[in-house]
Amino acid sequence: MLPEQSLITPLPATTTATPAQRAAVWGVGAALPAHRESSAETERRLGLPPGWIARRTGIRERPLVGPTEATSDLAVRAGAAALAQAGLSPERIGLLLLATSTPDHLLPPTAPVVAHRLGLKRAGAIDLAGACSGFLYALALADGYVRLQRTCVLVIGANVLSRRTNPDDPKTSALFADGAGAVVLGPAEGPRGIVACWLGADGSCWDDLYIPAGGSRRPLTPERVARGEHLMYMKDGRALFRRAATGMAEAGRRVLQQAGLDLDNVAWWIPHQANHRLIEEARRQLGLPAERTINLVDRIGNSSAATIPLALALEAHRFVPGDLLLLTAVGAGLLSAAVLLQW
């Protein structure tokens, strides 16, 4: 149970009372596959020199699902953990938002399946395809729903990116991982909660990182599958690195300016866990010290929208009531996002 949570008594989802002042974190949860592939194993598989991956990405191991696991399995585990920490029954959730780029199926959405397995019988449920920024986009939408409806929202970021990467491509298979993180947001009247959100998009860079085939533009055919066009493709890693680092720093500055705050007010910066070098470059541009940065990419890899909620759940013991957390992400699209959250 999070600090002061027991002091908050939400109204039923059907209430027409005055909107809540803020949406606060009531519980967090994480789910990581049991199997992990070390970067040394990946290097041997790809014929890379020892230490090549860690030097370039900081990643030392990546959690990867087993043959029978899917995105919904990880999402259910993370969501159940967040509900348990919040001390909430499933009936208290009014909405489930699932940020994922790897749904169980192209149709139907995966969120209703997750809601059913969690017993969320009163909740709406929908997928959000916002790539690495998807969880922060979902938080921004959940913030409005919590405050307006005075109900609780379960926000989950979950991905099985090992099923979307070419195992023979070192630019992607050495980076991407599987995992899920979840946050329960509920109404609060005090200072705790989401302080500000900033969202941005630059569609001119849509093909920096993408999956060529499988959508309405380029349907799957046996020939396209044989060429690996159903898997992730990174056009120019260096250009993407520069855009992502600059974008994360810019998103952080914009949300602080929007809130009338500065970096001195930030207790912890939680960036999207893309890779160590990108985090360090964004941190340098933003101007925050390393000791106020949450960086656990070495052990969780890059699971896109799942990395920030995973960091919130796995590092929650480091936060104290009143801490201001700066969350930033840039991902395929290009989509950028930042959220200020008071713990």
Of 152, 230, 275, 302, the active-site residue reads: 302
**Residue 159, Cβ density class (10 Å: 0-12 exposed, 13-18 middle, ≥19 buried):** buried
CA distance 9 to 63: 37
127 strand-pairing partners: 98
CA distance 10 to 300: 34
Query: Quick check: is 302 catalytic?
Result: yes
Name the catalytic one among 159, 197, 205, 272: 272
Asked whether 164 and 176 are in contact (CB, 8 A), the reply is yes
- Could you tell me how far CA 29 lies from the centroid of its own chain? 12
> How many residues would you count in the chain?
343
Per-position b or e across 16-50, b if 16+ CB within 10 A of its CB: eeeebebbbbbbbbbbbbeebbebbebbeeeebee
Q: Do 177 and 63 meet the contact criterion of CB atoms below 8 Å apart?
A: yes
Rg (the chain; Cα; Å): 19
Query: Measuring CA to CA, which residue among 173, 140, 176, 143 is closest to residue 159?
Result: 176
* DSSP output for 231-287: S-EES-HHHHHHHHHHHHHHHHHHHHHHHT--GGG-SEEEE--S-HHHHHHHHHHHT
Residues whose CB falls within 8 Å of the CB of residue 252, separated by 6 or more in sequence, listed in order: 269, 286, 326, 328, 338
Closest CA relative to residue 251, chosen from 131, 332, 340: 340
Distance of alpha carbon 256 from alpha carbon 250, whole angstroms: 10
Residues marked as catalytic? 132, 272, 302
